[in-house]
Chain A
């Protein structure tokens, strides 16, 4: 569904992505892991067109997305740190995005209900806690029933119950045949929801395999140990 070819990006002298080649298939949950600053967020922002790559190509369903915009109607994005206009209320933000995406056929309000956002509709975005902002981001990402979901550390600021709700939602959407990309540092969470793990290191693809094959390769029961083992071996 998404094909990334020779993707390169540098910020000044710092090379963040060095010739990354990946393919993501539909109906999978792919977890993108890697140390801080390894290019995870940059890669997902490249798919979204928020960061413009220096070289290479990104294709969704065979079509290049560089300098396009219409394809974003198929993508739901939940940023690592949601930044919203401070003086808008939750209701206004949600209404605005709905207004812009009026052509979307289905509107999925499940997360708004589960997170009880309606009770907080009149609160200003600037007055919200980090966790509540994350809930708004999550609700917006899932709202228009997109074919691709890009979740950047989705559970980082959420309380355990909300994180659980989100995980259930991710699995539910996966069953509908969507592609879900998650960047995360929490291995237990990766193990719970993901099918495949993609590891970036210093802007290069370290490995991209299914969880079962990683475990088999390292001969370990726990994913975190297996990954640690693989990384150490390759050094």
Chain B
């Protein structure tokens, strides 16, 4: 498996997109840290930008990569290698190189300008989000053979999690505002990895005081070490569910 992983890495590194992505994140983070002066504020702005761009770039890049590696996988499937290993190598290759770009692009400035626990949470969340959206991209790619359709599904997934979902949550909160919704909100958060990531980081900033009763509930549940562990556990579930289901489809389909 290491051998296959080596060639996947080799293929991605020659692709300039990952380098461009690293530089983009690097400029973004350095810029934000130099604007604000207050590192907490910079981390907050960075969080919002990261939660919008990282899923988008991860999902689009991973989907196109998967379709472009079709020939590579076809070549390997006729060799004495387990399909699951081929799939895992592809997944790790993409997810690790994008995470590496993220750690370089965001991690280095955070350590330089605003090293704190919140900064660390931001990094871990970003890496999780990368792994989650690469897994979703692979799911979109194994569902259909058509590249254009696959990228369409991937973009829809991004739209849903990054934009539409928040609208739905707001709608629910607004329509049922007469009822106690604290626990519902908590459950709704768990259903969207981007929101989950946002809450994890926000709760470590002082701004959580602005979030009212729900914020207080979040703080009481997620503020503890146990709660943070639960939140990261949920993120892990968000990695595993799309990854395992896409692997299942991949190993049971014709090439």
A residues near B (Cβ < 8 Å) are 11, 45, 48-52, 69-73, 75, 77, 79, 83-88, 93, 96-97, 99-101
Question: Per-position contact with A for B62-73: 1 when CB-CB < 8 Å, else 0?
Answer: 000000011110
B14 within 8 Å of A by Cβ?
A: yes
What residues on A are CB-neighbors of B7 within 8 Å? 96
In the assembled complex, the CB of A142 is this many whole angstroms from the nearest CB of chain B, namely: 14
A51 and B80 contacting across the interface, CB-CB below 8 Å: no
What residues on A are CB-neighbors of B4 within 8 Å? 100
Contact partner of A86 among B71, B79, B81, B82, CB < 8 A?
B71
Q: How large is the interface on B (under 10, 10 to 19, 20 to 34, 35 or more residues)?
A: 20 to 34
B residues near A (Cβ < 8 Å) are 3-4, 7, 11, 14, 69-72, 74-83, 252-255
Which partner residue on chain B sits nearest A93 by CB separation?
B75
Docked Cα-Cα span, A75 to B81, in Å, equals 12
A87 and B14 contacting across the interface, CB-CB below 8 Å: yes
A69 and B71 contacting across the interface, CB-CB below 8 Å: no
B81 and A52 contacting across the interface, CB-CB below 8 Å: no
A69 and B252 contacting across the interface, CB-CB below 8 Å: no
B78 and A48 contacting across the interface, CB-CB below 8 Å: yes
What residues on B are CB-neighbors of A99 within 8 Å? 3
Docked Cα-Cα span, A201 to B14, in Å, equals 46
Which partner residue on chain A sits nearest B77 by CB separation?
A50
What residues on A are CB-neighbors of B72 within 8 Å? 84-85
Given that A84-B71, A85-B71, A87-B14 are known contacts, is A52 also in contact with B252, CB under 8 Å in the complex? yes
7 contacts across the A-B interface (CB closer than 8 A): A51-B254, A77-B78, A83-B74, A83-B75, A84-B72, A97-B75, A100-B81
Interface centre among A48, A72, A85 (most CB of B within 10 A): A85
B3 and A69 contacting across the interface, CB-CB below 8 Å: no
In the assembled complex, the CB of A107 is this many whole angstroms from the nearest CB of chain B, namely: 14
Docked Cα-Cα span, A26 to B181, in Å, equals 72
A101 and B74 contacting across the interface, CB-CB below 8 Å: no
Interface centre among A45, A88, A101 (most CB of B within 10 A): A88
Which partner residue on chain A sits nearest B255 by CB separation?
A50
Contact partner of A100 among B14, B71, B79, CB < 8 A?
B79
Docked Cα-Cα span, A77 to B76, in Å, equals 11
B78 and A100 contacting across the interface, CB-CB below 8 Å: no
Docked Cα-Cα span, A207 to B93, in Å, equals 48
Which partner residue on chain A sits nearest B6 by CB separation?
A99
Given that A85-B11, A100-B3 are known contacts, is A50 also in contact with B75, CB under 8 Å in the complex? no
- Which are the 5 A-B pairs with shortest beta-carbon distances? A72-B80, A73-B80, A83-B71, A51-B254, A77-B78
What residues on B are CB-neighbors of A75 within 8 Å? 78
In the assembled complex, the CB of A11 is this many whole angstroms from the nearest CB of chain B, namely: 8
Docked Cα-Cα span, A88 to B71, in Å, equals 11
Contact partner of A70 among B74, B78, B80, B253, CB < 8 A?
B80
Docked Cα-Cα span, A69 to B81, in Å, equals 6
Docked Cα-Cα span, A105 to B72, in Å, equals 24
In the assembled complex, the CB of B19 is this many whole angstroms from the nearest CB of chain A, namely: 16
